[in-house]
Chain A
Amino acid sequence: MGSRVEILNDDGYRSDGRRQYELREITIDLSQRGAADGSAMITHGLTQVLVTVFGPREAKMRSHTLHDRAVLNVEVNIAPFSTGERRRRTRGDKRVLELASAIKSTFEPVVQTSLYPRSQIDIYVHVLQQDGGLLQASINGTTLALVSAGIPLLDLLCSVSGGVHSASPLLDLTTLEENDLPHLTVAVMPKSGKVTLVSMETRLHVDRFGEMFRLACDAAKVIHGEMKKAVKARTQKLVNAMDVGPGAKLQGDFADRDDEMDMME
């Protein structure tokens, strides 16, 4: 057998060349897609997720609405070509439903649903490429899509995954690392430090867990910085676009403007 890939070698480098606490490269694209009210495409290294948000709008089924707040409806669609081996999942796949349900319960306390009674907010998550950190990318993408749609949130929810490799904690795991190590995903509201999601499906010693959890919460603040930068850049772009179009700020006095309009006719 060939040499086994080392999760963390003696010099402190991981299998993809990162350091122990280093996060993967994050790219955020908030441009509009389709007829969605808000959309965001986020990549963490090689994991790419597209999230589109519709709403708040009239619910399809009146019976599914609540009288005092909006209902969050999350649907996850994992592309068959997203992993190395093609795998077609039906809509009722339990793993997919579990992911959707985790995202929904993560955002229930964050979205200000009480402002929109009897309406529905639809969140559609499309997984285009997977290389570990799927829940993390989905949650970050959903936050950005909700912001892009203009839906009021209590805070930007940031999520990061982490794992432990023989007493050394690692952040932002790839598929290779997730298969080997016990790992958890946390979703944190950075300003207040409140946590809305902690998810772990493997076994981890209690002592290691505390350290890992604190580290992941700190890492979420770093992702918060990236998200804020992306949202600001997008807003700046939109504001600049508004300045150029009709209805721009008046420059000079009214007489000049009238002359311009006469000439255009």
Chain B
Amino acid sequence: MISISKSEKSYIQESLRSTLAFREDGRGLSDFRSVFLETGIAPLANGSARVNLGKAGQEGGGGTEAIAAVKLEVEDVQSGDGVDGGRVACNVSCSPAAYSHISSNALDNLQHDYTTLLHQVLSHPTLHPKNLGILPHKKAWLLSLDVTILSDAGNAFDVIFMAARAALWDTKVPRTRSIQYAGRKSVQTPEEAMDVDGNSAGPSNFNTRDLPTATDFELADTWDEGEPLEGRERWPVCITLNIDSPVHYLDATLLEEAATPLRLLLLFSFPSSSSSILQSMKLLGPGELKLSEVTGHITDGEKYARTLFNALESKLRDEDLRRNQKARTKFAGR
């Protein structure tokens, strides 16, 4: 996306293809830059996370940063857009601060590309969480996932999916309880009872409009954040393989992305019950690959994705611990 000269491009490509391959910052071909992750950054959202890849240090700047937040809203299945069992909608917005060198039209296009990919992958029925329904055929949750890219220093796809996964991990669905209204029994004698709107034998005195016996839901406990979103272990991680045949490498910086524009995005899901699942795959950029190469890349990608997944898992569990258990002991000790 940034402009690059022919000599810079050939310098990067030559170093990658040499026998002792090296990159401009001294990393190995499958080395990631350091990842900073924090959950619960937006208290008003049902789940949120911030991920920064490649920051210079604790106090440093730079790196690819994305904030993801999940909000749950109630939707009506019959009259609104709701779907029985709930639905998932994803959205990515790119801050102009991250892409200050491109015009606003190009920024919209970029946003649209990221949004389409994120939405198509995460709203797939195989990943659908089972606790998004409230009242069958009446009300359901709409899960809106918003990802904002605050800065881009390369490898935006991996960061978007990492942030999305972390926010979904952090999401708590409020517990609901369905309730039903029951009217008082009429005390009028049959001959005095008026035939109002033909509802003389109507069951509910509250039924002043043509509504079915009113069933509704309420929050079981307003102070309780809720239960975790079902299917946390199924959300996929994304690994981008930058390909400069016959070499491939991970976590490219902006300069490297400009030098080797051909990329293969692989999204793997590692559910605890079964073996890994290739959730989605996308080839981007000019270039072509032989089918045998593609299968080779998928096998390698699965190994990298598993490492990334395990690291992310342990960090997310750490975050859970930090925010819940430690906060409780801190409060108890006051």
- Say how far A80's CB is from chain B's closest CB, in angstroms: 5
Select B95's contact among A81, A84, A126, beta carbons within 8 Å.
A126
User: Contact: A35 with B60, CB < 8 Å?
Assistant: no
Given A34-B63, A128-B67: A83 in contact with B103 (beta carbons within 8 A): no
Answer whether residue A88 sits at the interface, using C-beta atoms and an 8 A cutoff: yes
Answer whether residue A113 sits at the interface, using C-beta atoms and an 8 A cutoff: no
- Say how far A132's CB is from chain B's closest CB, in angstroms: 13
> Which candidate, B75-83, B142-150, B291-299, is the interface stretch facing chain A?
B142-150
A54 and B95 CA atoms in complex are apart in Å by 13
Answer whether residue A20 sits at the interface, using C-beta atoms and an 8 A cutoff: no
Beta-carbon contacts under 8 Å, B76-122 to A: 91, 93, 95-98, 100-101, 103-104, 108
Given A33-B151, A35-B62: A84 in contact with B44 (beta carbons within 8 A): yes
Q: Is the interface of A mostly helix, strand, loop or mixed?
A: loop
User: Contact: B61 with A75, CB < 8 Å?
Assistant: no
Answer whether residue A140 sits at the interface, using C-beta atoms and an 8 A cutoff: no
Given A34-B98, A86-B71: A80 in contact with B146 (beta carbons within 8 A): yes
Beta-carbon contacts under 8 Å, A53-102 to B: 54, 60, 75, 77, 79-86, 88, 91
Task: Provide the residues of chain B in CB contact with A86, threshold 8 Å.
Answer: 71, 73, 144, 146
B59-70 vs A, CB cutoff 8 Å, 1 = contact: the mask equals 111110101011
Select A80's contact among B71, B97, B100, B153, beta carbons within 8 Å.
B71
- Say how far A237's CB is from chain B's closest CB, in angstroms: 8
The chain A residue sitting closest to B95, CB to CB, is A77
Answer whether residue B42 sits at the interface, using C-beta atoms and an 8 A cutoff: yes
The chain B residue sitting closest to A241, CB to CB, is B59
The chain B residue sitting closest to A81, CB to CB, is B69
The chain B residue sitting closest to A83, CB to CB, is B44
Task: Provide the residues of chain B in CB contact with A161, threshold 8 Å.
Answer: none
Task: Provide the residues of chain B in CB contact with A84, threshold 8 Å.
Answer: 44
A91 and B112 CA atoms in complex are apart in Å by 14
- Chain A residues within CB distance 8 Å of chain B: 31-36, 39, 46, 50, 52, 54, 60, 75, 77, 79-86, 88, 91, 122, 124, 126, 128-129, 237
User: Contact: B61 with A129, CB < 8 Å?
Assistant: no
10 intermolecular pairs with C-beta atoms under 8 Å apart: A33-B151, A34-B62, A34-B65, A34-B98, A81-B69, A86-B144, A88-B146, A128-B42, A129-B43, A237-B59
A210 and B45 CA atoms in complex are apart in Å by 39
The chain A residue sitting closest to B108, CB to CB, is A91
User: Contact: A81 with B48, CB < 8 Å?
Assistant: yes
- Say how far B45's CB is from chain A's closest CB, in angstroms: 4
Given A34-B61, A80-B91: A124 in contact with B42 (beta carbons within 8 A): no
User: Contact: B150 with A33, CB < 8 Å?
Assistant: yes
Task: Provide the residues of chain B in CB contact with A126, threshold 8 Å.
Answer: 95, 97, 148, 150
Select A88's contact among B70, B91, B95, B153, beta carbons within 8 Å.
B91
Beta-carbon contacts under 8 Å, B19-41 to A: 41
User: Contact: B98 with A80, CB < 8 Å?
Assistant: no
Given contacts A32-B62, A79-B42, A81-B70, 17 further A-B contacts (CB under 8 A): A34-B63, A34-B97, A34-B98, A35-B61, A35-B62, A35-B153, A60-B101, A77-B148, A79-B67, A81-B45, A91-B104, A122-B96, A124-B96, A126-B148, A128-B41, A128-B42, A129-B42
A31 and B56 CA atoms in complex are apart in Å by 12
- Chain B residues within CB distance 8 Å of chain A: 41-45, 48, 59-63, 65, 67, 69-71, 73, 91, 93, 95-98, 100-101, 103-104, 108, 144, 146, 148, 150-151, 153
- Say how far B80's CB is from chain A's closest CB, in angstroms: 15
Task: Provide the residues of chain A in CB contact with B45, threshold 8 Å.
Answer: 81
- Say how far B280's CB is from chain A's closest CB, in angstroms: 25
Select B61's contact among A33, A60, A83, A128, beta carbons within 8 Å.
A33
Task: Provide the residues of chain B in CB contact with A46, threshold 8 Å.
Answer: 43
- Say how far B54's CB is from chain A's closest CB, in angstroms: 11
User: Contact: A79 with B146, CB < 8 Å?
Assistant: yes
- Say how far B316's CB is from chain A's closest CB, in angstroms: 19
Task: Provide the residues of chain B in CB contact with A39, threshold 8 Å.
Answer: 61
Task: Provide the residues of chain B in CB contact with A50, threshold 8 Å.
Answer: 150
A88 and B93 CA atoms in complex are apart in Å by 10
User: Contact: A81 with B146, CB < 8 Å?
Assistant: yes
Select A33's contact among B65, B93, B103, B104, beta carbons within 8 Å.
B65
A124 and B93 CA atoms in complex are apart in Å by 14
User: Contact: B146 with A54, CB < 8 Å?
Assistant: no
User: Contact: A35 with B67, CB < 8 Å?
Assistant: no
Given A36-B97, A79-B69, A81-B146: A31 in contact with B103 (beta carbons within 8 A): no
User: Contact: A31 with B95, CB < 8 Å?
Assistant: no
Task: Provide the residues of chain B in CB contact with A85, threshold 8 Å.
Answer: 73
Interface centre among B48, B63, B95 (most CB of A within 10 A): B95
A81 and B70 CA atoms in complex are apart in Å by 8
